[in-house]
Amino acid sequence: MNQSKEPTKEQEQWFWEKCGLDIRNGGQGTIYWYAPEGVVYRHLPPIDLNNLFKYAVPIVDEHSAPALEWVMGEFCQAVFQNINPTLALFWACFRAFGGEE
């Protein structure tokens, strides 16, 4: 998988749902994303390091310590290879959740 490739909207939606965010219809065609701690997003949350470490990494950790070690290894490797660390972490968590390109 290309670690610097941008995900599709479908991949992003699947990913955030795996992170525990819930999509709800707000009426009149408005969609809201509800995070587990109560934060409400009008659009999909941005894929940034803050959100990945806030929502995705803890879910990976809950399911498997070896998976977390692998994800963090992928992240560190990306940093050392000058690959976008945000996308590298996204794709590593995506694969840890069982996602396929």
What's the structural domain count of the chain?
Answer: 1
Its domain, for residue 26, covers 9-96
**Would residue 91 count as lying in a domain?**
yes
Q: How far apart are CA 52 and CA 93, in angstroms?
A: 9
Any domain includes 14:
yes
- 43-64 pLDDT, tens digit per residue, is 888 999 999 999 999 999 888 8
Contact 14, 30 (CB under 8 A): no
Residue 57 belongs to a domain: yes
Residue 101 lies in a domain: no
Q: pTM, whole model, 2 decimals?
A: 0.84
Q: What is the mean pLDDT of the chain?
A: 87
Residue 27 lies in a domain: yes
Is residue 61 within 8 Å of residue 68, measured between CB atoms?
yes
- In angstroms, the first-to-last Cα distance of the chain is 7
CA distance 36 to 20: 6
pLDDT in tens, 79-93: 899 889 999 999 999
Say what the pLDDT of residue 86 is: 93
Predicted local confidence at residue 2, as pLDDT? 62
Q: What is the DSSP string of the chain?
A: --TTSPPPHHHHHHHHHHTT-EEEEEETTEEEEE-TTS-EESSPPP--HHHIIIIIHHHHHHH-HHHHHHHHHHHHHHHHTT--HHHHHHHHHHHHTT---
Q: Is residue 1 part of a domain?
A: no
**In-domain check, residue 2:** no
